[in-house]
Amino acid sequence: MSEDEIRKKWEEHPMLKPKIEKVVVNVSVGKSGEPLERAARVLKDLTGQTPCKRKAKKTIRDFGIRKGEPIACIVTLRKRRATEFLKKVLPVIDNKLSRKRFDRYGNFSFGIKEHIEIPGVRYDPEIGIFGMDVCVSISRPGYRVKKRKREKAKIGSKHILTLEEAVMFAKDALGLEIV
């Protein structure tokens, strides 16, 4: 199916047009205490939301990590905040993304090595520099049927988002260049 045919199908049937469901930003520090607090402050400044701390699932003695110790912080952005954050962060990767970054359901992820590369963010020696992972989940309206608590139902195979449709949506909505 060509891109024009897909766009025409989206206009005729609004329930088929994809949307950004959520954007998850993860900063994994690897240890608790002051470094984790600084990473949480960076995430709060970037996203405007309070981050949630994540604990280690198992003990790894070589890295000095104990089970249950908080080692990362995470923020989930939805709707307007998600698109605003993506428009702010995508220039860091030059609005280019490899096709390999997409999974078969249309979700994609990328990493940022240093948060100070984001436009408008200045280096603060008290905070330091942190890298982060950004995961974007793309879905269609109607996917709630699969996730709701009462009367879960399957999504029809024709309604599941394909890789090609997700790539096309990312090009149109976010201005990404797929390499």
What residue segments make up the domains of the chain, in order of their start?
14-178
pLDDT, residue 2, reads 82
Regions of the chain with pLDDT less than 70: none
84 to 23, 47, 77, 89: CA distances (angstroms): 10, 9, 10, 9
**Superfamily holding 14-178:** Ribosomal protein L5 (3.30.1440.10)
pLDDT at 133: 94
User: What pLDDT sits at residue 19?
Assistant: 93
pTM of the model: 0.88
Q: Please give the full DSSP string across 159-173, using - where no structure is assigned.
A: TSPPHHHHHHHHHHH
Residue type, 15: M
| pLDDT at site 149 | 93
Q: Are strands 177-178 and 96-97 parallel, antiparallel or unpaired?
A: parallel
Look at residue 40 in the predicted model and tell me its pLDDT. Answer: 93
What's phi and psi for 64, nearest 5 deg?
Answer: 75, 35
Q: How many Å apart are CA 68 and CA 151, to the nearest integer? A: 34
Q: Where are the alpha helices (DSSP H) in 24-143?
A: 34-47, 79-89
pLDDT attached to residue 120: 87
Q: Note the pLDDT of residue 22.
A: 95
pLDDT digits (tens, 9 = 90+) for 117-149: 898 888 888 888 999 999 999 999 988 899 899
pLDDT for 139 equals: 93
* 3-state SS, residue 22: strand
Quote the CA–CA distance of 73 and 50 in Å, as a whole number: 10
